[in-house]
Amino acid sequence: MSLLRLPVLLLASALLGGCAAQSTEAPQELNLTVLHVNDHHSNLLPKQRTLSWGGQQWQVNSGGFARVAKQIELLRKQHDNVLTLHAGDAITGSLFFTLFGNEVDAQVMNKVCFDAFTIGNHEFDKGDAGLKEFLDKLGTPACPTAKLSANVKPALGVSPLTPASMSDSFSPYAVFQRGGHSVGVVGLTIAKKTKKSSQPDATTEFEDELSAARRAITELQSKGIEKIVLLSHIQYARDLELVTQLSAVDVVIGGDSHTLLGDFSEFGMEAAGPYPTVINNADGETVCLAHAYQYSQVVGELQVQFNGDQVASCGGRPHFLLGQEIQPTEGSVTTLEPIKAALKQSGVFSFVKPDSQVQGLLNDYQEKVQDFSGEVLARVPETICSQEIDRPRRSGCADVISSGAHRITAEAFLHAVPEADFALQNGGGVRGDIKAGEFTIGDAFSILPFANTLVSIEITGSQLKQVLEEALAYSVSDGGSTRAYPYGAGIRYSVDLTQSYGDRVSDIQIWDKESDRWQSMQLQESYTAVTNSFVAGGQDGYQTFYELTEQGRANNTGIDYAKALAEFAREQGTLERPDEFATQAYRGRD
């Protein structure tokens, strides 16, 4: 909903010393519009998705950064006092990043012209130097995007981010003038996950989010700034928790958890909460919290009405971006007007044409992407789903406790490194389904989009048990990542997360190639593991792998992990849904 704009109040000053003078003070009321996105992950093109409505399934064309740009342009024209914010994880996740690095993301973001951007964990996927390169490209003289994080602490004089001062590349906060008011925006980066699940330099530290936020807010208040926005890349659930411990915060624009907010139930989509989510801070004052889903699909339009320095009301809506192309998945209809009318009236979907300039820029790069990605490697009779272990099974996926896409990936690792006894793959390294139809080189690099190679590691049975316990502990820890969960091939085990650390993994077995059967893992026996270089470096909590690597017991094969999947698919010719998985039994936390 759009909030009523209130007039600026001009206050006449008293006549002093016989001289008439006037001064203008800031009005008490401010209607602030915050336009925001998060976690687009180099996903710059539209996607096909299925909606349920009227007893039918409908195929729609949704999102894409050209639509994001157009929607933001349209909303800016409709409102005064606009802030345009990006809550992090702009890069890594598609062939645009695989082939061109951060170049395309920076260009399209500059076309939109964000007022501020907070650093996400994936911005560190190519180390401090990679982040520095991206931040240098982000913003122009005409569009000076503020780059923010209050809790990222690179080593001064050591990190490329901070060669001379701590503010060389980014700042803890920025201050914007809107409607005669100062609005402070504080950046936050998820600390533990970034340190353990990305590739920051070893000397770069990450302060606790709460402590950093308190310090930045105190600094803003010391400057007389009381309207405060957190631009937060720390996950929706942790935003909810953090706000209750903070004074003075008014607005939170978040990311990292890819959270959909709003009422999408009429169309068969489940959201995590209302848009906006209204909560109270440590002072008992109203806070407006909003996230905007993922992958260039949604633009958030948050409306905040301030009375003085406190939030009087929160409003607004998400804009889930759609094209005009809608088709039933089965059968035919005489008219599309009923579903189009329902979508328009939903308050959560918006039909929008792509911005021509951004689309033209993307078209130039897309031709190169298509040239690289078009070769067909294999046939896929049924979609092989990527399913997180602790989530409900998805419709159209095999009804198993584990993930078929992760299993295929682990099998590809064993195929590429045949001397290995087993393969392990962390959950977060596989970024999509292996869809039914033709499987191409582009599909392999889209599913495995990061700059990882395969690493073989010599490991004993007792060390393997420790590795699995570490991964599970990280997957359930505060500030960790469920995507640390281990998937594999040539190995199987049972998991019980109700047990204490050290007792969560049991019945570990390794496939013995000589006897062609499963053998119980022996604590003193030596084995060869193969995994991706991210995990081998100790990220996602795999600390023992890191220690073994430091001891010289690891060998980086130099084989790109996406190329390993591509070659496996080429040799197989057909990729079938697997019926065996590493996780034999699973009990989650009660």
Question: Tens digit of pLDDT for each residue in 511-555?
Answer: 999 999 999 999 999 999 999 998 998 888 999 999 998 898 998
Which position has the higher pLDDT, 76 or 95? 76
User: In this predicted structure, what is the pLDDT of residue 26?
Assistant: 53
User: From CA 20, how far away is CA 133, in angstroms rounded?
Assistant: 55
* Separation in Å, CA 339 to CA 60, 325, 331, 333, 417: 11, 12, 15, 11, 51
Assigned token pair, 244:
């209750």
Using the predicted structure, report yes or no on whether residue 38 has a pLDDT greater than 90: yes
User: In this predicted structure, what is the pLDDT of residue 8?
Assistant: 31
One-letter amino acid of 155: A
253 touches 276 (CB < 8 A): no
Question: Tens digit of pLDDT for each residue in 4-22?
Answer: 333 332 223 332 233 333 3
Q: What is the mean pLDDT of the chain?
A: 92
Over range 275-303, report the average pLDDT. 98
Cis ω before 449 (30° cut-off from 0): no
- The values of phi and psi at residue 309, to 5°, are -105, 10
Local confidence band at 25 (pLDDT 50, 70, 90 cut-offs): low
User: In this predicted structure, what is the pLDDT of residue 2?
Assistant: 35
57 touches 328 (CB < 8 A): yes
Q: Determine which helix (DSSP H) or strand (DSSP E) holds 186, and give its type and residue range.
A: strand 181-189
User: In this predicted structure, what is the pLDDT of residue 482?
Assistant: 79
* Separation in Å, CA 552 to CA 113, 536, 556: 47, 12, 11
One-letter amino acid of 554: A
Q: Determine which helix (DSSP H) or strand (DSSP E) holds 511, and give its type and residue range.
A: strand 505-512
480 touches 440 (CB < 8 A): no
Nearest CA-CA partner of 390 in 495, 289, 313: 495
User: In this predicted structure, what is the pLDDT of residue 159?
Assistant: 98
pTM over 0.85: no
Question: Tens digit of pLDDT for each residue in 227-248?
Answer: 999 999 999 999 999 999 999 9
Let me know if 433 is exposed, middle or buried by CB neighbors in 10 A (0-12, 13-18, 19+): buried
User: In this predicted structure, what is the pLDDT of residue 221?
Assistant: 98
Over range 134-141, report the average pLDDT. 97
User: In this predicted structure, what is the pLDDT of residue 1?
Assistant: 36
Q: What percent of the chain has pLDDT over 70?
A: 95
Kindly tell me the sign of the dihedral angle through the C-alpha atoms of 62, 64, 68, 69: negative
What lies within 8 Å, CB to CB, of 499 at 6+ separation is: none
Using the predicted structure, report yes or no on whether residue 35 has a pLDDT greater than 50: yes
User: From CA 376, how far away is CA 282, in angstroms rounded?
Assistant: 56
83 touches 175 (CB < 8 A): no
Let me know if 196 is exposed, middle or buried by CB neighbors in 10 A (0-12, 13-18, 19+): buried
User: From CA 329, how far away is CA 51, in angstroms rounded?
Assistant: 10
Bridge partners for 309 per DSSP: none
User: In this predicted structure, what is the pLDDT of residue 12?
Assistant: 30
Which position has the higher pLDDT, 69 or 199? 69
Over range 464-472, report the average pLDDT. 96
Question: Tens digit of pLDDT for each residue in 344-399?
Answer: 999 999 999 999 999 999 999 998 888 888 899 999 999 999 998 878 888 888 88
- How many Cα neighbours within 13 Å face the side chain of 518? 12
User: In this predicted structure, what is the pLDDT of residue 256?
Assistant: 94
Alpha-helical runs (H) found in 79-203: 95-100, 103-112, 127-137, 191-197
Local confidence band at 27 (pLDDT 50, 70, 90 cut-offs): low
Question: Tens digit of pLDDT for each residue in 414-463?
Answer: 999 999 999 999 998 898 999 999 999 999 998 998 878 899 999 999 99
User: From CA 512, how far away is CA 470, in angstroms rounded?
Assistant: 25
User: In this predicted structure, what is the pLDDT of residue 371?
Assistant: 87
Which position has the higher pLDDT, 400 or 319? 319
Over range 308-320, report the average pLDDT. 97
User: From CA 344, how far away is CA 426, in angstroms rounded?
Assistant: 40
User: In this predicted structure, what is the pLDDT of residue 393?
Assistant: 86
Q: What percent of the chain has pLDDT over 90?
A: 80
